[in-house]
């Protein structure tokens, strides 16, 4: 399977349908638990095209702005539909000042792994490296990668 999406580097994608199905289910359950505990958070970005990933990598390096990622295209689990950025959402406005330590505890219970550098970022990799993921993706397709990660992550 190849995900057909826009290559517009400015487009933020919040479509659960572009995430691995097991990942999307876990994410919905984790966000539901966050809400039940009073943390108003939502999916800020899920699947990310390789073009957008490179665009974001260039911020603070090739263009003005704060560095927001250390990953180039295909070095991020966003390109595989296995990563998400979770951000507070209060009265329709995005809020990056939420207590990520408390949110992380909840997402860990649901099998997500945080990245220290990017507090809003959570992923499920099944212990694979992004290089291993790229090989599986290129050799056997996205569904095969999703199945391998799901199996290794115990889903």
Task: Determine whether domain 16-150 maps to CATH 3.30.1380.10.
Answer: yes
Give the C-alpha separation, 71 to 57, whole Å: 6
3 state SS of 68: coil
pLDDT for 3 beyond 70: no
Q: Where are the alpha helices (DSSP H) in the chain?
A: 21-36, 50-58, 100-109, 130-140, 142-152
Give the pLDDT band (50/70/90) at residue 93.
Answer: very high
> What are the domain boundaries of the chain?
16-150
pLDDT digits 0-9 by tens, 24-75? 999 999 999 999 999 999 999 999 999 999 999 999 999 999 998 999 999 9
pLDDT for 116 beyond 90: no
Give the pLDDT band (50/70/90) at residue 2.
Answer: very low
């Amino acid at each position: 399977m190849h995900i057909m999406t826009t290559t517009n580097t400015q487009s933020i994608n919040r479509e659960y349908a572009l995430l691995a199905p097991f990942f999307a289910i876990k994410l919905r359950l984790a966000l539901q638990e966050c809400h039940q505990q009073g943390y108003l958070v939502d999916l800020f970005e899920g699947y990310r095209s390789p073009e957008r990933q490179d665009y974001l990598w260039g911020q603070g390096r090739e263009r003005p702005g704060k560095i927001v990622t250390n990953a180039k295209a295909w070095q991020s689990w966003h390109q595989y539909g296995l990563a998400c950025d979770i951000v507070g959402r209060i009265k329709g406005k995005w809020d990056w000042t939420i207590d990520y330590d408390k949110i992380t505890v909840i997402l860990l219970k649901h099998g997500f792994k945080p990245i220290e550098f990017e507090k809003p970022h959570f992923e499920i990799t099944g212990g694979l490296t992004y290089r291993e993921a790229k090989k599986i993706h290129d050799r056997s397709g996205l569904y095969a990668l999703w199945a391998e990660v799901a199996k290794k992550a115990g889903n």
